[in-house]
Amino acid sequence: MPNDYQQGYDEAVRHKSRTEDNWVRSAFGPIVWLGVPLAITWWYLRRGAGAAAAGGAKSANPFSDMMEMMMPIKKRQFRVEVKGTKFENVIGIPEAVVEVRQYVDFLNNPNKFTRLGARLPKGCLLTGEPGTGKTLLAKAVAGEAGVPFFSCSGADFIEVMGGSGPKRVRELFEEARAASPCIVFIDEIDAIGSRGGGKGGGSVSSEENRTINQLLAELDGLATSGDAIVVMGATNFQDNIDKALLREGRFDRKVNIEMPDRAARVDIFTYYLSKICTGDPTGRLKDDDGNDLQVDKTVDNKVAAQELSDLTPGLSPATIATIVNEAALQCGIAGKTVVDRTSLYEAIDNTQLGKKHRNRAKESSTRRTAIHESGHALGAWLLPQQRNVIKISVTPRGNAAGYTQRAGPEFHEYQTNATLFSDMVVLLGGRAAEEVVLGNVSAGAMDDLQRCTDIVMKQLLSFGMSGNTGLLAFSPDANNSGRSFVKYSEGTQKHVEAEAVRIVDAAYEMMLDIVRKNREKLETLANELIEKKELMHDDVLRVLGPRPSSPTTAELSQQLDKITHGGSPPLKGEPIVAVA
């Protein structure tokens, strides 16, 4: 034990002497272990910042530069080739073409305006429903002017790392300035141009704020510079865009692109029919190798365009292009040498409703479906306020076991209290037919009842079409948002619901009377529908006869006024519908 103690004591003395002799190591060792990595990191960041400054892309966020060096982001190429796109390729929106045509002169001959002291407009916002041709219109401006076209989407500026959104904006405009004169197109600009608080509510992050601010700064820089750059944006939700982005001097021109009317749809169908082989000399008559196709003329493109436009009110140009392409695809699958008229009509149903599939329903279910759809068709046929019945079918398509197709309204067609009431009558036609003919009703009318409820609630809460509820307009869609978001009181809700029940009951009594008066014809129509699976307009005309001229809109409005001003439904036991 003494030897062990002495050995330990000697070791401690030797360790103390070594420590006292090498005090530099003990004093500066920790500094070296911590300082060297920090110095290397500082040098690496300074080197990256110097390279960015030399390239003219100095960042205001050193952290984003460090993150980018650790996880490099590939620089996006925004330039898109549009040489083959001209105004002649933009069909169905002539008013919008006229409004943006002036930008071609702004880019090609700016002195025409600047000599008069005018300031060239730098921003143009294209708004409208999806599929109306906003992107194509912007490409056509660049194609006509013969200038470079830079295209991006609002989602392109959204990255995981902080500061990458403003960096993308700077890269886009730097590339555009190097190629001016040019056009910069930002699709779905509401993805980066919204700060929240609009109709959709919600909040916005600091990263999105920085991206918007960078975009505003770039637009202001264009306004004070001599660069011939036009910025065009496109959105379906103009109300959600920050007001600072829409002020004069930035996006000071707004071009609204509307859905095509009948004349525009004829032009659109004619254009797309000329791209496929219908046998018409104005269409495609050569194969991919340039050889002539020996086909018979089965479709007159001009006549077909007019007929198809009558069947597709309210559809966008993109949907029309899909319909024509779907017809060509199905003819190719079937091995046909030409796109025939039947395939074009079938493509409308395939696009809007879904493709046919095997009927798995029992015979009793098929009969109920036929009676249900015949009830809808009967109500639409006997009410002059409704558009013509085009087709009735019990062939399943998509989620529908059957359907009644009617000509839809045009985009700018107004709805009145009489047309809305007649819509409710027709929607309740299927349930009324089941009750009168079969003696019981099914759950198949659930969607009809939901749509009927939506109509009457909007009629009372949004359109001010009731003398009892007044002329105040609320938002019935807010019902799904919870009680705290509803703008009207519980008393108003109770009153409106009672009023809605009275109107819907009156519509149902009216439809029941129509079915009872025309039960024999309804059953004949249903039996033919079961046999043929599909009935066209001529078949309905043969069974139900010519459409009546009463009740007129004035008569229907008068009856509806009696209902909505506190009287009992006058239609119960007192039909005003002419019997076919």
C-alpha pair distances (Å), 176 with each of 78, 122, 217, 565: 9, 13, 15, 63
Please tell me whether residue 347 adopts helix, strand or coil conformation.
helix
Segment holding 403, helix H or strand E:
strand 403-406
Q: What is the C-alpha to C-alpha distance for residues 165 and 191, in angstroms, rounded to an integer?
A: 12
* DSSP string computed for 171-238: HHHHHHHHT-SEEEEEETGGGTS--S-STT-----HHHHHHHHHHHHHHHHHHHS---EEEEEEES-G
* Chain position carrying tokens 């007001």: 243
Segment holding 98, helix H or strand E:
helix 94-108
Within 10 angstroms of residue 110's Cβ, the number of other Cβ atoms is 15
Contact yes or no for 402/353 (Cβ under 8 A): no
Length of the chain: 580
Residue 189: both structure tokens together: 């600009």
List 144, 175, 208, 373, catalytic entry: 373
Please tell me whether residue 404 adopts helix, strand or coil conformation.
strand
Catalytic status, residue 218: no
Segment holding 406, helix H or strand E:
strand 403-406
Provide φ and ψ at 397, rounded to 5°. -135, 125
Residues 6+ apart with CB under 8 A from 566: 467, 468
* DSSP string computed for 21-54: HTHHHHHHHHHHHHHHHHHHHHHHHHHHHHHHHH
Q: What is the C-alpha to C-alpha distance for residues 73 and 180, in angstroms, rounded to an integer?
A: 26
Q: 534, exposed or middle or buried, with CB in 10 Å at 0-12, 13-18, 19+? A: middle
In 3D, which of 174, 192, 198, 193 has the Cα closest to residue 184? 174
Q: 37 preceded by cis ω (within 30°)? A: no
Q: Which residues of 214-240 are buried (b: 16+ CB within 10 A; e: fewer)?
A: bbbebbeebeeeebbbbbbbbbebbeb
Residues 6+ apart with CB under 8 A from 163: 59, 60, 61, 63, 64, 65, 67, 207, 210
Q: What is the C-alpha to C-alpha distance for residues 32 and 37, in angstroms, rounded to an integer?
A: 9
Contact yes or no for 151/185 (Cβ under 8 A): yes
Contact yes or no for 227/177 (Cβ under 8 A): yes
Catalytic positions, written as ranges: 373
